């Protein structure tokens, strides 16, 4: 992974680049060699810092110097298909020395704040393409003065650009013709890849280590061999066919196959967030520490189309109120949302028996070895996010027949809060312009949430206004939350943040409860909306009872000016403490406070909205869902 040197370079591409480090010869490689392909640490290359590269090559280019300019010069940079399959966390360009700040994420890439270096005054110019990526086109934390112009982003899985706590950002004149539509695997495959090195270390340091799993004694040698065989089978199938062969490898297909071939978690085009990964619910209030806010953000004249997304709800196993995460933060998954059935366990007359599978056996064996201090800890194999408890381990070993699995709902495979899909999301930000962007033809393939009777409780980060709201299939064109004007003392006129002259059309999601063109959420203030055109569905009009809403202003928003020249074909919804008001599509609205919402014309309809958390939907106990100050694999 090339890094920028200490001087201030200007880099210009002179050819297309396919990033495919340390590829393997599949014809001669063993299953284990395939399973550990692309891992620079296991391959023993001394030039790669074991702490920084413990999760593999996290970017093609990592920029940690200031004043770096890259011209694509008509060329492209992309991840190869092989690496995209085996390295599920990746950015084509990472704007820092590590993908997470210290003490955040599934691994401590750097020990101290001084070791983390974020790029400042970075410029990327087109024409040219940032192509295939298993996560992001561009990702960064703590950056300042970032300019991205004239670039085509395509075939990304999570987002084109995702920046946390950025001061000064301009994204302009970029084209997004599509995100990736041939994703072969679910997040469960990433869990298999990331737990494998722990199992290998256990095998090397404690040969013969064994435990009872699924009613029989299994050695670490057996569990490891099964795991690498499954990984290799997936790799070979995907490289040959583009998908997992359900006939030849039915177990792998059931556990890892992606039925929709698009990302199975959060889905964005542009994401701007405050300090830390955007893994919780939507922002409600801005941080009082302005250093934790993004600021001065401009997203102008970009064109995004043909975006497909799918959110896979993964029920998180809970023991004593704690979600059970493995050593890399992945959920221990006992329920398959695709075919609505238990996996890894049987239920007969209210009695639950562990049967296991390749992932669960590996995760639980590693957890047992961590708990009994058999597995050592170092910079590469850190265990601080492991939370698998002894109760679950004892049940898997057949020691506790009374154990009943409990599940926390509304999370994905890494237990990020499910928020639906958002094309442009700006949150925890002081001062922004979202102007002249086109969003067209977005299709959400998610099904509705799993039945409530499966859930003992719900992810703590669910909607602050309605904790029972599960947003798997919901879709927003533009969402801003906990945002403000450029100057808090001057919230009108030239100092207001603006959403202006955007065109949002053809947003589709069969199972959605909400499809919103523009959504203003949280305690947001000092925002002007003018000259926007939103027509979400040409067959849907301004009905009070449908899921399409041109513009929604949430109850905590204030100082929001909606000009007469907007055209929200599916109407405007203004929420107060107890009602939702729907007004004419061309309404001019001046929302001064949540208690004094008013429109220049009479609202067309009023319907009540429940604000109370139902008894069957209790909030989980405890202050933090996430160990290590942040949900693993944050976006």
What are the pLDDT digits (tens) for 221-247? 999 999 999 999 999 999 999 999 999
More confident residue, 609 or 96: 96
When pLDDT is averaged across residues 468-474 and rounded to a whole number, the result is: 85
- In this prediction, residue 469 carries a pLDDT of 75
Question: How far is the C-alpha of 292 from the C-alpha of 429, rounded, in Å?
Answer: 9
**Residue 232 DSSP SS3:** helix
Q: Which of 23-37, 188-202, 260-274, 455-469 has the lowest mean pLDDT?
A: 455-469
Whether 458 has a pLDDT exceeding 60, the answer reads yes
Largest CA distance in the chain: 76
Q: Of the candidates 407, 389, 386, 394, which has an alpha carbon nearest to the alpha carbon of residue 325?
A: 386
Please state, in angstroms and as integers, the Cα–Cα distance from residue 394 to each residue in 124, 153, 222, 391, following that order.
53, 48, 20, 5
pLDDT at residue 499 is higher than 70: yes
Residue 631 predicted with pLDDT over 60: no
The predicted-structure confidence for 479-491, as pLDDT tens digits, reads as follows 999 999 997 654 4
Side-chain half-sphere exposure of 581, counting CA atoms within 13 A:
21
Q: What is the pLDDT of residue 104?
A: 64
If you search the block for the tokens 């995004």, which residue do you land on? 304
**Distance between CA 63 and CA 52 in Å, rounded?**
14
User: In the predicted model, what is the mean pLDDT of residues 305-309?
Assistant: 98
Position 5 scores a pLDDT of: 46
> What pLDDT does residue 376 have?
78
Q: Is the model more confident about 602 or about 73?
A: 73
Q: What is the DSSP string of 40-86?
A: TTTTT-TTS-TTTTTT---EEEE--SSS-EEE-TT-EEEE-HHHHHH
The pLDDT of residue 149 is above 80:
yes
Res. 333: pLDDT tops 80: yes
Quick one: pLDDT at residue 484?
95
Comparison of pLDDT for 120 and 378, the residue scoring more: 120
Q: Which of 335-344, 390-399, 406-415 has the highest mean pLDDT?
A: 390-399
**Residue 444 pLDDT > 60:** yes
273 burial level (CB within 10 Å; 0-12, 13-18, 19+): buried
Predicted local distance difference test score (pLDDT) of residue 462: 58
pLDDT for 371 beyond 60: yes
Rounded CA gap, 363 and 360, in Å? Answer: 5
Domain boundaries, the chain: 187-260+312-413
Asked whether the bond before 127 is cis by omega within 30 degrees of 0, the reply is yes
Mean pLDDT of 400-407: 89
**What torsion, rounded to 10 degrees, do the Cα atoms 132, 266, 150, 71 define?**
-50
Residue-level pLDDT at 60 = 96
Q: For the chain, what is the mean pLDDT?
A: 86
Q: What digits encode the pLDDT tens for the residues 557-614?
A: 988 999 999 999 999 999 854 334 444 444 445 443 333 333 332 333 323 332 222 3
Helix (H) or strand (E) holding 617: none
pLDDT, one tens digit per residue, over 541-560 is: 666 668 999 999 998 998 89
Distances (CA, A) of 350 to 347, 402, 404: 6, 9, 8
Residue spans of alpha helices (H) in 397-491: none
Confidence band of 41 (pLDDT split at 50, 70, 90): confident
**pLDDT mean over 503-507:** 98
Where residue 12 falls (left for φ over 0; alpha for ψ -120 to 50; beta otherwise) is beta
**pLDDT the model gives residue 598:** 34
Residue length, the chain?
635
> What percent of the chain stands above pLDDT 70?
83
Q: What is the mean pLDDT of residues 185-203?
A: 96
Check residues 54 and 418 and name the one with the higher pLDDT.
418
Q: Which of 127-131, 288-292, 440-444, 625-629 has the lowest mean pLDDT?
A: 625-629
CA pair distance 75, 194, nearest whole angstrom: 33
Angle at 626 between CA 474 and CA 144, to 5 degrees: 75
Whole-number pLDDT of residue 106: 60
Q: Residue 585 has what pLDDT?
A: 45
């Amino acid at each position: 992974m090339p890094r920028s040197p200490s001087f201030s370079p200007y880099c210009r591409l002179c050819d297309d680049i396919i990033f495919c480090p340390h590829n393997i010869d599949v014809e001669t490689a063993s299953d284990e060699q395939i399973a550990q392909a692309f891992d620079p640490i296991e391959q023993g290359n001394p030039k790669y810092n074991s702490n920084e590269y413990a999760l593999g090559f996290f970017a093609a280019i990592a920029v940690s110097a200031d004043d770096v300019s890259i011209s694509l010069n008509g060329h492209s940079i992309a991840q190869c298909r092989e690496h995209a399959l085996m390295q599920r966390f990746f950015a084509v360009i990472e704007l820092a020395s590590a993908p997470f700040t210290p003490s955040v994420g599934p691994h401590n890439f750097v020990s101290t704040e001084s070791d983390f270096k974020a790029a400042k005054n970075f410029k990327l110019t087109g024409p040219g393409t940032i192509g295939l990526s298993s996560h992001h086109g561009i990702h960064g934390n703590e950056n300042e003065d970032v300019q991205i112009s004239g670039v085509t982003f395509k075939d990304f899985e999570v987002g084109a650009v995702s920046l946390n706590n950025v001061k000064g950002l301009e994204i302009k004149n970029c084209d997004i013709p599509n995100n990736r539509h041939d994703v072969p695997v679910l997040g469960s495959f990433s869990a298999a890849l990331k737990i494998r090195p722990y199992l290998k270390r256990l095998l090397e340091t404690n040969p013969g280590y064994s435990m009872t799993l699924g009613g029989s004694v299994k050695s670490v040698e057996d569990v490891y061999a099964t795991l690498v065989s499954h990984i290799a089978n997936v790799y070979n199938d995907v490289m040959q066919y583009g998908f997992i062969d359900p006939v030849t490898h039915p177990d792998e297909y059931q556990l890892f196959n992606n039925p929709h071939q698009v990302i199975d978690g959060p889905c964005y085009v542009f994401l701007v967030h405050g300090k830390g990964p955007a893994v919780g619910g939507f922002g409600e209030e801005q941080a009082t520490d302005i250093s934790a806010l993004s600021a001065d953000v401009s997203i102008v004249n970009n064109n995004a189309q043909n975006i497909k997304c799918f959110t896979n709800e993964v029920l998180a196993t809970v023991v004593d109120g704690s979600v059970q995460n493995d050593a890399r933060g992945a959920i221990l998954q006992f329920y398959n949302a695709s075919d609505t059935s238990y996996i890894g366990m049987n239920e007969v007359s209210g009695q639950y028996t562990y049967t296991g599978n390749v992932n669960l056996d590996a995760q639980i064996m590693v957890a047992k070895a961590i708990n009994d201090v058999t597995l050592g800890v170092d910079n590469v194999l850190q265990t601080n996010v492991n939370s698998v408890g002894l109760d679950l381990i004892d049940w898997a070993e057949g020691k506790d027949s009374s154990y009943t699995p409990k599940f926390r709902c509304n999370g994905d495979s890494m237990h990020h809060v499910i928020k639906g899909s958002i094309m442009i999301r700006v949150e925890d930000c002081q001062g922004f312009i979202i102007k002249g962007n086109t969003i067209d033809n977005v299709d959400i393939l998610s099904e509705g949430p799993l039945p409530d009777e499966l859930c003992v409780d719900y992810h703590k980060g669910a909607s602050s206004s309605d904790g029972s709201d599960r947003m798997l299939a919901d879709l927003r064109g533009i969402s801003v939350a906990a945002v403000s004007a450029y100057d808090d003392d001057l919230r009108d006129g030239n100092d207001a943040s603006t959403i202006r002259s955007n065109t949002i059309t053809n947003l589709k999601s069969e199972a959605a409860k909400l499809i919103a063109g523009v959504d203003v959420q949280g305690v947001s203030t000092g925002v002007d909306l003018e000259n926007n055109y939103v027509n979400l569905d040409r067959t849907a009009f301004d009905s009070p009872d449908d899921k399409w809403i041109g513009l929604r202003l949430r109850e905590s928003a204030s100082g929001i000016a909606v000009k007469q020249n907007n055209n929200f074909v599916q109407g405007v919804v203004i929420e107060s403490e107890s009602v939702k008001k729907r007004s004419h599509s061309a309404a001019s609205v001046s929302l001064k406070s949540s208690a004094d919402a008013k429109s220049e014309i009479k609202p067309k309809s009023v319907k009540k909205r429940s604000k109370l958390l139902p008894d069957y939907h209790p909030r989980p106990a405890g202050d933090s869902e996430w160990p290590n100050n942040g949900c693993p694999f944050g976006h």
